[in-house]
Structure 1
Amino acid sequence: MSTPAAADEPSARLPEWQPAGADAGWAAAARAALAATDAALAARFDRNDDIDALIAERTRAVDAWVRAAWSRCIPADAPLALFAVGGYGRGELFPHSDLDLLVLAEADAQAACHEAIARLFALLWDAGLAAGHAVRSPAQCTQAAREDITVLTALSEARPLQADAAADARLRAAIAPTLAWPPREYFLAKREEQRARHARFDDTSDNLEPNLKEGPGGLRDVQTLRWMALRVLGARGLQPLVALGQLGADEYATLERERRLLSRLRYGLHLVAGKREERLRFDYQKALAARLGHVDAAGSLAVEQMMQGFYRSAALVLRINERLLQRFEEQLEGEAVPEPLAAGYDARRGYLHATDPGWPRGVEDVFALLAVWAAHPQLRGLHSQTARALAEALPRLPDYPRADATVRARFMALLRGPQPVETLARMARLGVLGRWIPAFSRVSGRMQFDLFHVYTVDQHTLAVLRNIAGFAGGVADPRFAIAHEIWPRLRKPELLLLAGLFHDIAKGRGGDHSELGAVDARDFCAAHGLSEGDTALVQWLVRQHLLMSVTAQKQDIGDSDVIHRFATRVADRERLDLLYLLTCADIAGTSPKLWNAWKDRLLADLYTATRLALRRGLEHPPAAAERVAETRAAVRAQLLAQGLEAAEIERLFARIPETGFLRGRVDSLAWQAAALRGIEAGASTVRARPLVQHAGALEVFVSAPDRDGLFAAIVATLDRLGLAIQQARLLDGPGGQVFDSFEVVPADGQRIVAADEVERRLSAALAIADLDGIRPARRTQPRHLRHFRLVPQIGFGLSADGRRTVLSLVSTDRPGLLADVTRVLRRQRLRVHDARIATFGERAEDVFQITDERDRPLADPQQQQALRDALLACLEGEQRP
């Protein structure tokens, strides 16, 4: 609330009736007493005392000191009144809540008591009560309320601290609906304010660091209902709405239970943070979970248990909030005229309504309602009466194992009907899906304490299903290169939906969630009458839903042996089609930042190569010579089409390593060969080009005389450009030249680096004589990464041909990690021949093929141990290379 500048002047002269020197001692005593009160309340919080009692007692303690300060500073006969407003007026003071006060006085009284008022707020500040305050007359209150609905809302919560009944009446009259914000205008403005607030949090409470107060389903949503009840119906609090028929007794009990749970979280968060903090940041989640008494259990960390409780509370608050907003709308707009939709259902003001007073009489009625809803996409939502009836009936609805075959067939009809994914999302939001599939209920609101999974399991599942629905739209999505081509070939799209629904359903049980989920999927499919073949297909997809992602990101898909092994496990074209679509939907649904051009092309390449292997026949894997010949022919055709002569093409081919034709992409090899035109043998060249039609992704090609430290210098330069390497292929070319290619994306996901800038900076780096002088940039580790420290894992193996050592590294990701690792390898005088870089949230999983300076694998255990020690020192921060 605004404050006149004069009333906030700390140096104002003190009134004559109190000595100035005494104020410092009084403020110190008040501060100490309040600290003692807060400490005692914190101890009671840790003993699990009633949260409302703790909040009320803290409010009473602050009230006493505010009144004492008033009596100390304001003459008894002064024509002033003091009110607590906002959350303080509501009586909700958490350990570090704001303190909002209003001094109500006419203009002449404000002027006469200006110095006393200034002294009051200075004294409260010194006592540790930094109050936001305003000094206004009733007329000024009216004007401020008209101009700003938040001022009106704060004043509507006013509670007299030092005010008689007449002053209280004057304030109520000043903000009456006839003077400012009539009920309908207030309702519409507050509803829009809530929508905008929810939009700031992406319209979901299921964020990794949710806001307990302002986020969807948070305490502000409960408070919004209170404010609307007061303005629309004149009801103070929500309980009177039960008698008015606007709120069911069960709904009120649920709101109160969840409000207390959210309040307890907020109180504890203030204690753990030691300041006013409304966001459940990673910095505080573990400490708060421990303070609330949660303990780690098999398959469920304490912090995950706490967060699941929050997400479930927020979901319930959102459901009831939506219903009550509808009822306020009906109160203001009048009874709606029913519009018939189907037998037993009509639309009322755009909301779907069940006309049978006894609805639902069984789960078949619920499925019938969902079918009507799917057939009428113009509907705004579910009518509040019907939503309440459904909520009351949920505990009585059977799960699918106890339902009969007819009802199960109705569920499958929903999957095969219009808007199947939207129907599943509605079922999840209303609690129906968790009742029908008990395993889904167990993952509802379940978070995973990492940075890879930014959604709860149930919300991730719905995101995957929405991606699948996008494939069915008939319009090519530029994020997915070939998905729109594959979708029309699906024999039964509902099988893919079932695989998406079950792929993560066993998270948190302990054990392999893919294996456990496959069992659940098989039981569900068999119960719903799917054929044995279709059941086995869904079961296989759930069990193998990570296979394609792991193969593409961690193995060299340019290796025909890798393709053959993958194709052997996939076995047929239908599995490949379904697995490709499920993998794309799964990765893109894990985090908005996880899907990128590199992953898109990588999966498309793996799909294409596997389809070719299946067409050729798994009993006839191609020999290396055959693969090289096929690739050379395809590259030659592209170069001829570009106008190159056959003799020139052969000269260029002589400068490309044979391994390039074995593992490289045809279009990349043609581009790289063309880049060598006009470049003398032994000279350096750098080229970069957009990887695909995705902003920021680049393919970088470097051909230069080989020398030690070259790879580390390239990595450091790309790191300084803000580019993250996703894949590196380092080949030894003829004449001592390296033939290196890199696929890079912006490290921060935002800054776009132009291809010509990459070429210029890398060319400049290659011209430097002392490559060891090129060091990676030093950046501060992002705050969120500090809370996800992994124990580094370093392993050694041998490549398939026995010529190189395979170094695998798992650690916490951080800015410049790859650049630091390459400098360690350089200092150990090792050469890098191939690198695959994968990052999953806070987890970096990198694989390198390395040799010593004489191109021999690291056979000596002491040499391996020396490298391990140096890498651990780097990864654990004991030294920077």
Structure 2
Amino acid sequence: MSHKHLPYFERPLFFFDQSRFRKALEQHPVITIFKDALNAANVQFHRRFVEGEDIRTLVYERALFIDCILHYAWFQFEWPESISLEAVGGYGRGELHPCSDIDLLILHRQQVLEESKDNIERFLTLLWDIGLEIGSSVRTIKQTLELAKTDITVATNLLESRNLVGDPSLRHELLQAITPENIWSAENFFRAKYEEQQDRHKKYNDTEYNLEPNIKNAPGGLRDIQTISWVTKRYFGVKTLKQLEGKGFFTDEELSLLNSGEEYLWRVRYALHMIAKRPEERLLFDYQREIAKLFGFADNHEGLAVEQFMHRYYRTVLALRELNDVVLQFLSEAILQRGQNKKVISINERFQLREDFIEATHTYVFEENPSALLEIFVLMAQNPAIQGVRASTIRWIRESRHLIDDAYRNNPKNTELFLELLQQPQNVVEQLKRMSRYGILGLYLPEFGLVTGQMQHDLFHIYTVDAHTLKVMQNMGNFLLPRAKEDFPVAANVVKRLPKFELLYVAGLY
């Protein structure tokens, strides 16, 4: 098709000369022109990243540039009216990192498939030939709907779809068919995404502290942020989280954390793709050193550059993991427990149980009685039937933890509560992990706070120092279990004779 008849890509790209590109498509081999354009854009994007340009601008502009390339690739062929090219998945969100897959859906009416089949194959071949890493599917609306009904991943990808080129009515018709009233109600969608997250976390030992973490899929990573986005958008029927500002769902602090955490992980991921030159999501040791240097860290009295970089990373994902806990717990209460008779069981003046989750009896419990910041974990250790903490109470804990200072640490009542926690016959380490996740343990024991997210850059350690410490304590707790007589006969016999087993836990912490 002559460049004069090629439809213009209408959205502006300040760094890409469309007129020159269109003329070149007539005068030179098409594949070469596309490759040259992609290579030139990559060089420019990399330079802008190293110079410190805003990561959101880079990620969105990269997606926009690929939109433009796909537009012109599409119009290298003739198409009937009832066919379209849709962006789905992360690319559908308008986000693209250097080596991320470009997920595409070619949507068509059944009657046009036969006449379009050859051009579809040629179009996809062209994309591969010019060096794009694509994931593609070719389906009718009916076929897509049937898949979406049974596959939560397909349904999720469609929620974030964008029409790139072709008949936009096809996507509109599809979106009308996949509303919560038709498939994946807010309740079922939440259950499926929550179970999906739990399974994903288990693959990474339910810790954000692996020394070579997966920045996308590990706890506190980008997928956790996306899960928050997916379930809230489905529940509230909004297109962006910004639409929830001022609605009482997110606090200003939480929205700020979500945005800053995502931006930080995006910078790490962008750098990782640049350095690895492939869609790598694991922060392997060799990459950690290079990224630390790229981010401006240097060896000094605070530690190796790579350790300082990873310390920042772990602190970020820990905060995001905590936020993920709050949001999903809030949605669980709003969606799964909607309409239920919420029986409330009083524990004491400060705490009560609601649907097997513990909650503070009022907003100012922790402000009026700061010792309750420790008491709540003692109560959970004493009653393993408590499934967790209600979202509002997690928020109140977070807002009140500034009360933990030297006077708080030296208060005999608080010392007594902490030792009471360590004296429990079960569930101790589980609550210590929860205390760590909510930022309480590192504040109450400053020495533990100093090693939170602290790595040792060698191959002899699997987790960060704080995660290793809690693993040690878990092993200590195992000596108390009935099976310990067989598994650890000597240790089991020794701990029986200890007058104060909690002191062993204290030794483990230090």
Deviation at 1:478, TM superposition (A): 4.4
Equivalent position of 1:382 in the other structure: 389
Matched, 1:398 2:402: no
Partner SS for 1:49:
coil
Alignment partner for residue 271 of structure 2, among 259, 268, 272? 268
* Aligned counterparts of 1:128 and 1:380: Cα–Cα separation in 2: 49
**Distance of 1:23 and 1:435 partners within structure 2:** 67
Matched, 1:466 2:466: no
What is aligned with 1:111?
A: 114
**In 1, distance between residues paired with 2:283 and 2:78?**
41
Is 1:295 aligned with 2:312?
Answer: no
Within the alignment, does 1:63 sit opposite 2:67 as a pair? yes
Q: Is the 8 A contact 2:425 2:480 kept in 1?
A: no
Which of 178, 192, 195 is equivalent to 1:192? 195
Query: Residue by residue, what CA displacement relative to the aligned partner does 1:845-872 show, whole Å, maximum 9, x if unpaired?
Result: xxxxxxxxxxxxxxxxxxxxxxxxxxxx
111-120 vs 395-404, greater mean Cα deviation: 395-404
2:45 equivalent among 41, 47, 52: 41
Q: Which residue of 2 aligns with 1:368?
A: 375
Retained in 1: the 8 A contact 2:297–2:306? yes
Partner of 2:493: 485
Corresponding residue for residue 359 of structure 2: 353
1:574-616, Cα deviation, whole Å (9 max, x unpaired): xxxxxxxxxxxxxxxxxxxxxxxxxxxxxxxxxxxxxxxxxxx
Decide whether aligned partners of structure 1 residues 400 and 460 sit closer, same or farther in structure 2, where only a CA change above 3 A counts: farther
Residue 454 of structure 2 is aligned with which of 438, 441, 446? 446
User: One-letter code of the match for 1:352?
Assistant: I
Q: Could you tell me whether the CA contact under 8 Å between 1:153 and 1:227 is conserved in 2? A: yes
Given residue 325 of structure 2, which amino acid in structure 1 is its aligned partner?
Answer: E
Question: Given the two structures, how large is their TM-score scaled by the length of structure 1?
Answer: 0.52
3-state SS in 1 of match to 2:300: coil
For 1:461 and 1:191, locate their aligned partners in 2 and report how far apart those are by CA, in whole Å: 28
1:211·1:218 contact (CA, 8 Å) conserved in 2? yes
**What secondary structure sits across from 1:482 in the alignment?**
helix
2:54 to 47, 50, 55: 50
61 and 317 in structure 1: CA distance in 2 versus 1, 3 angstrom threshold: same
Alpha carbons 1:363, 1:407 under 8 Å: kept: no
* Matching residue's letter, 2:246: A
1:352–1:29 distance in 2 versus 1, CA, 3 Å: same
SS in 1 for 2:210: coil
- Of residues 221, 225, 228, the one that matches 2:228 is 225
Kindly indicate whether structure 1 or structure 2 has the higher relative contact order, using CA contacts under 8 Å at least 6 residues apart. Answer: 2
In the alignment, structure 1 residue 82 sits paired with structure 2 residue 85: yes
Q: CA deviation at 1:71?
A: 2.2
Rounded Cα–Cα distance in structure 1 between residues aligned with 2:257 and 2:425: 33
Partner of residue 596, structure 1:
none
How many percent of aligned residue pairs carry the same amino acid?
37
For 1:376 and 1:343, the matched residues in 2 are separated by 17
C-alpha displacement of 1:22: 6.0
In structure 2, the residue matched to 1:147 is: 150
Given that 1:28 and 1:126 are in contact with CA atoms closer than 8 Å, whether structure 2 keeps it comes out as no
Inter-partner Cα distance in structure 1 for 2:349 and 2:425: 19
- What amino acid does structure 2 have at the position aligned with 1:339? I
| Matched residue SS, 2:241 | coil
Determine the C-alpha separation between the residues in 2 that align with 1:151 and 1:186: 12
TM-score, normalised relative to structure 2: 0.89
Per-residue Cα deviation, 1:194-224 (whole angstroms, up to 9, x for no partner): 1111111111121122111111111111111
2:503 to 474, 495, 514: 495
8 Å contact 2:87–2:104 — kept in the other structure?
A: yes
CA distance 1:23–1:188, change in 2 (3 Å): farther
Cα distance 1:202–1:115, how it changes in 2: closer, same or farther (>3 A)? same
Rounded to whole Å, the distance in 2 between the matches of 1:303 and 1:95 is 23
Residue 859 of structure 1 corresponds to: none
Which residue in 2 is equivalent to 1:32? 36
Structure 1 or 2: larger strand share? 1
- Deviation string, structure 1 residues 522-541 (Cα, Å, up to 9, x no partner): xxxxxxxxxxxxxxxxxxxx
How many matched pairs? 482
Distance 2:244 2:485 in 1: 48
Residues 176-215 of structure 1 aligned to structure 2 (within 5 Å): 176-215=179-218
Distance change >3 Å, CA 227–CA 163, structure 1 → 2: farther
Letter of the 1:144 counterpart: L
Counterpart in the other structure of 1:257: 260
Residue in 2 aligned with 1:341? 347
Measured in 2, the distance between the counterparts of 1:471 and 1:24 equals 74
Which residue of structure 1 aligns with residue 239 of structure 2?
Answer: 236
Structure 1 distance, partners of 2:76, 2:403, is: 62
Matches within 5 A, 1:385-784: 385-399=392-406, 403-417=410-424, 419=426, 420-476=428-484, 478-502=486-510
What amino acid maps onto 2:387 in structure 1? Answer: R
Q: CA deviation at 1:119?
A: 2.2
Unaligned runs of 5+ in 2: 1-21
Q: Is the 8 A contact 1:138 1:174 kept in 2?
A: no
Deviation digits for residues 429-472 of structure 1 (CA, Å, limit 9, x no counterpart): 21101111222212101111112221111111111111111223
For each residue in 1:332-370, what CA deviation from the matched residue of structure 2 results, as whole angstroms up to 9, or x when unmatched? 231633222222211222211001221311531212222
Equivalent-residue separation in structure 2 for 1:501 and 1:321 (angstroms): 27
**Matched-pair contact (CA < 8 Å) for 2:105–2:138:** yes
Corresponding residue SS for 1:104: strand
Cα 1:132/1:475, change in 2 over 3 Å: closer
| d(CA) in 2 for partners of 1:477, 1:57 | 62
Q: Secondary structure at the match of 1:73?
A: coil
Which secondary structure state, in structure 1, belongs to the residue aligned with residue 431 of structure 2? helix
Partner amino acid, structure 2, of 1:432: I
User: What's the counterpart of residue 539 of structure 1?
Assistant: none
The 1:421–1:286 alpha-carbon spacing in structure 2 relative to 1, beyond 3 Å, is: same
Shift of 1:300: 1.7
Q: Output the aligned Cα RMSD.
A: 2.2
CA separation in 2, counterparts of 1:122 and 1:210? 35
Distance 1:414 1:476 in 2: 21
Deviation at 1:417, TM superposition (A): 4.5
Conserved in 2, the CA contact under 8 Å of 1:82 and 1:162? yes
Shift of 1:277: 0.5
> 1:833 aligns to what?
none
Higher helix content, 1 or 2? 2
**C-alpha deviations, 1:3-46, integer Å up to 9, x for none?**
xxxxxxxxxxxxxxx9xx96972221221222221112112222
Helix, strand or coil at the partner of 1:72: coil
C-alpha separation between the residues in 2 aligned to 1:185 and 1:401?
44
